[in-house]
Amino acid sequence: MAFGSHVPTVGVNDLASGDFLLDVREDEEWQAGHAAGALHIPMSEFVARYGELTEAAPQDGKVNVICRVGGRSAQVAMYLVQQGIDAVNVDGGMQSWEAAGRPVVDDKGQPGVVV
């Protein structure tokens, strides 16, 4: 799925284990399976909860934005770039994350699945 060359992207395999990850999927998607350590702010609540991101994100670091396949995260990444934040869309989203063998946990910390 292509979102145009104007959306900065990063591949799942280019992310290091300590990189900051923002998951913008909805609650039921998050509960089924997500990357451990990711910050969860659903896209539908993002503007109202923007302060949570600015408090949690590294001051001089990159915000890697992820969703299921990359559509919602591309929109949020572009919004963040427009706000002056160094943000990129994770290409292929959580589906690529899971396919690459990266760990996925549910809301109880047990092995999860991407829905």
* Helix, strand, or coil (residue 32): helix
Distance CA 111, CA 15 (A): 20
Q: Which of 35, 63, 67, 80 is catalytic?
A: 67
CA quadruple 46, 90, 101, 1: dihedral, nearest 10: 110
Catalytic residue status for 100: no
Known catalytic residues?
67
